[in-house]
Structure 1
């Protein structure tokens, strides 16, 4: 039986050595590969809250990814507005403390996390970055404060987090499941895959192969490329078997990816035969000759929020121009509040203990208010909000996830064509 999660708060200074080691390892090693994680049996823990649920946020307002921060802050604030309008949590209004995570090139996230601990937060929504999540998790476990990320997608982030990590966005390998489904629907019986040499990119291979097989199709070739010099060989290996489609899973939209796209198109694998993945889906209008990607496809984790939800975000931030990850941040906040309700305690260990459970088995409910009403008479809920029925596993990873499908036009710009859930 899994051991109970118990409070282990202590001053951050006493965890400094462990954190330094974790940061060093995160900087020097590739992201961990995913491992099967069963859903743990929930074991009651000793209450540790003070009666007020305090939610901290760690999103980038400075640094290279600052453009992603505003929507996530707005998503959290919108959720808290609704939670408090429905009566709050355990009879008290929810409080929020916002802090900047910066990007992975700084120590801003560590300093901000320390500030959130000093403010007495019970749960942190964020960070957006997988690298930062990996760096902060040792501190989160020591402080007894769970992290719920709306945007961290690296595989295996929460596999050793003792229940103190969850996310409302799928881990990178999960897109292989969805791509297998999509390609089968498109009539691609034989599929080739080109991956980068990094562990994150290559983690798509096994799920894609399994998903294709489940639909009666086959992954007929997998080629790895690690530098521009290897592009020709990778394209030759992928196209030699004459697949119906090629999936390109590289870690960014840089020179190697552009060279691969150019070579694949020249080999007759452009248009609808080419699929980009979540790390290399980008605007190539200034990077490639017009028409190169016309008709090509791509997918990206998460939903495209509808106008009603965008309007809700703009109540919190009237100047908001990009809503990406706003819905996922909103969902993370609702889930944390529901976990506190189910536990009957706003303490971080209690929330960590119940985060997975509120998404899995019980009476289906689709908003905080509806779920709170259900909990008046029923002990278990299965929350299914804006991003759908996540059904988190024991590592806090969604086992069901929604993606947005995109198509490129003649200017090498992409536009959404619809959602897909897998």
Structure 2
């Protein structure tokens, strides 16, 4: 068993650790359990390297603090929860995630939290499912993953929600002719398609980079001279960028070609990050971006930062998907308690129920409250830090918030508001 000081630190420096699976089968929850009651072992597949590495610290902190809270409340079925960690890498180098999952599935983990990238998850989810392990992503938004596997769930909404919010935001700001700079990637093209639907439904027009245009740029692209020139030639009144690390080069080229950013440029969850060290002050002032999830309470952020400082020796500079990561770990643990077993199938059979899918469920906001209600014979609806609704039949959140952010004069992001949307399924 790994207590906070070792489990959390192991998570924070996870690049050197490996994890695994439970190959046992069981039935779902509430009554007599047929599954094992071995210690619950959660593996993490989070971006410690690659284009999404900026999401690693908040996600690592979210899972680590959740496990610390679970163990402080008595653990799961009499045992402390164990953590084992691995690097997901990104879609540019899928060998990283392939090797990490092989390691994880050799170490008897019962659940894997991750990946951040939808492309990475699509690379490994079949292997995880075949092994009988539950996978819960705190950040995947590709619509391809909705209902993909009974052993896959997520605490972030599919891109239908963010796409609608971002498209509506562009229209609300008065834009009618928009251009899209889109990376060739399932996540980026899927989000672009949903933003386009919202823009066109509101009477707007996509003048460059739309669905089927064939204008997507390659992953890891660094030369955007022609892409930006072609986009600006279409005379858009707004531009949205759907990419990861490539965004920096795209922005640099937009600066070179004298694009006016303020109030006319939009980013998404893959690139709404702090660029204070990348561009001159004021470059991105007035640019807006969207990230799934409500703005987490200040006390939650303070606890996360304290946890990460203690266990990684650094301060958090970003909190994207931290709440979703925290809630993913809590839901997995509560599923084990309800099902009275820690194997992957039991977790999968019970995660929807503890998220609030059952009628008459008692609302709880912490792991400890959830355990007390389950032990009293109640069904529960865990309402955690991310503000998502109960998981639907596709194991997607039935509702979720999309946070809207705006860049300040230092190229840092400031939360401005949240828009709630429902998820079909």
The interval holding the TM-score normalised by the smaller chain is: 0.7 to 0.9
Structure 2 unmatched ranges of 5 or more: 1-20, 210-214, 218-223
- Which of 326, 343, 367 does residue 339 from structure 2 map onto? 343
Q: Distance in 1 between matches of 2:277 and 2:47?
A: 26
Alignment-derived partner of residue 164 in structure 1: 151
Query: How far off is 1:170 after superposition?
Result: 3.0
| 1:237 has 2:223 as partner | no
Alpha-carbon displacement from aligned partner over 1:385-405 (angstroms, at most 9, x marks no partner): 100024334443334233332
Alpha-carbon displacement from aligned partner over 1:214-272 (angstroms, at most 9, x marks no partner): 7xx32322521446324344334353xxx6x5544355314345434665835xxx422
Structure 1 unmatched ranges of 5 or more: 1-6, 11-40
Q: Distance in 1 between matches of 2:225 and 2:32?
A: 53
Aligned counterparts, 1:7-406, within 5 A: 9=23, 47-61=34-48, 66=53, 68-89=55-76, 91-101=77-87, 103-104=89-90, 105=93, 107-157=95-145, 159-160=147-148, 162-183=149-170, 186=172, 188=174, 190=176, 192-196=178-182, 198=184, 199-208=186-195, 211=198, 217-224=202-209, 225=215, 226=217, 228-237=225-234, 239=236, 246-250=239-243, 252-260=246-254, 265=259, 270-283=261-274, 291-313=282-304, 314-315=306-307, 317-318=309-310, 319-322=313-316, 324=319, 325-362=321-358, 363=361, 364-377=363-376, 379-406=378-405
Q: Tell me the secondary structure at the aligned position of residue 253 of structure 1.
A: helix
Q: Distance in 1 between matches of 2:193 and 2:388?
A: 24
Q: Tell me the secondary structure at the aligned position of residue 77 of structure 1.
A: helix
Describe the shift of the 1:326–1:247 C-alpha distance in structure 2 as closer, same or farther (beyond 3 A): closer
Alpha-carbon displacement from aligned partner over 1:291-328 (angstroms, at most 9, x marks no partner): 44332222223455444223333246412412533322
- Cα RMSD over matched residues? 3.7
Describe the shift of the 1:229–1:58 C-alpha distance in structure 2 as closer, same or farther (beyond 3 A): closer
Which TM-score applies when normalising by structure 2? 0.73
Q: Distance in 2 between matches of 1:396 and 1:191?
A: 36
8 Å CA contact retained: 1:169, 1:328? yes
Q: Distance in 2 between matches of 1:411 and 1:331?
A: 31
8 Å CA contact retained: 2:182, 2:242? yes
Q: Distance in 2 between matches of 1:191 and 1:411?
A: 28
Q: Distance in 2 between matches of 1:336 and 1:312?
A: 21
**Residue correspondences, number:** 374
8 Å CA contact retained: 1:45, 1:349? no
8 Å CA contact retained: 2:40, 2:81? yes
Alpha-carbon displacement from aligned partner over 1:337-378 (angstroms, at most 9, x marks no partner): 122223232221111122234324342322222223333455
Q: Tell me the secondary structure at the aligned position of residue 134 of structure 1.
A: helix
Q: Distance in 1 between matches of 2:350 and 2:178?
A: 41
Query: How far off is 1:180 after superposition?
Result: 4.0
Runs of 4+ in 1 over 6 A off after TM superposition: 41-46
Q: Distance in 2 between matches of 1:404 and 1:311?
A: 19
Which of 57-66 and 337-346 deviates more? 57-66
Q: Distance in 2 between matches of 1:83 and 1:361?
A: 22
Q: Tell me the secondary structure at the aligned position of residue 144 of structure 2.
A: coil
Q: Distance in 2 between matches of 1:114 and 1:230?
A: 38
Query: How far off is 1:66 after superposition?
Result: 5.0
